[in-house]
Amino acid sequence: MTLQWYPGHMTKARRELAALMPSQDVVIEVLDARLPAASSNPLVTELRRDKPVVKVLTKSDLADPEVTAEWLEHFRAMPNVRAFASTTSNPVETRKKIAELTRGVAASRGPDKEIRALICGVPNVGKSTLINTLMNKAVAKVGNKPAVTKEQQTVTLKSGMVITDSPGLMWPKIEDEIGAFRLAFAGSIPDTAIDYLTIGMFGAQYILARYPQLPVARYKLAVTPASPEALLTEVGRRRGGLRPGGIVDLHKASEIFVHEFRGGVIGRISLERPT
């Protein structure tokens, strides 16, 4: 199964991003801490070229902290790159780190010059939430689904830094099938473009392989399920996924499982490592 999603407004967003990029001093690339590679848009890398970048790993409170530390070390070893993990529970620290890191990579602007920063990333990784955190008030519309932001919006922080929030941008053809499945499992591809059973089976297989203790604890299982289908069957039995006659609706069970992963209630899970 190949997952592709590239709605019409993204063609316009790509043109606007390309036109805006030369005037920016630094790119703030927002990544989902659970899948930093899969949620990194190759178009952004192509357009920014050697422009300095601050990679913000959002939703880090949902990710495996050990794996997040590996990703931070991986990114910090790259030239012209700064990285840190953020959570919505510590906005003061996020504002402080953004100011510190953007000023550090854009040092050539001088201490008295305003810094122009472009916030970009794939849909539903938390770009608008980050802008609201930086402004310390709601200036950008947010939502727990992809493509909430469809227009660029520019705001000026108290520090004088001018930041532009661009719409969530995918790329026209996702070559990495596993990466596409990770994006879908995490919610960066809308539910209308995915099949829950396929994505649920993918997620169940991965979690059983890497974090088997988490679903056992979450769903109060006596033993670790032997297969993804067995895990989803148990989810259906315990979370209202039964049809008349006690038959498990695997599609409904998959939908429940996917949303419980996205909400972090299964546990802190990372979908990929730097290696």
Q: Enter the pTM of the model.
A: 0.87
Check if CATH label 3.40.50.300 holds for domain 9-165: yes
Over the stretch 3-19, which tens digit does the pLDDT of each residue have? 555 555 567 778 888 88
Classify residue 107 by its DSSP letter. Answer: G
CATH class of 195-262: mainly alpha
Q: Where are the domains of the chain?
A: 9-165, 195-262
Helix (H, G, I), strand (E, B) or coil at 27: strand
Choose among 210, 207, 211, 213: nearest CA to 232. Answer: 207
Q: In the prediction, which pLDDT does 148 show?
A: 47
The span from the CA of 207 to the CA of 241, in Å, is 20
186: left (phi over 0), alpha (psi -120 to 50) or beta: alpha
- pLDDT of residue 261 exceeding 80: yes
pLDDT in tens, 239-254: 988 998 889 999 999 9
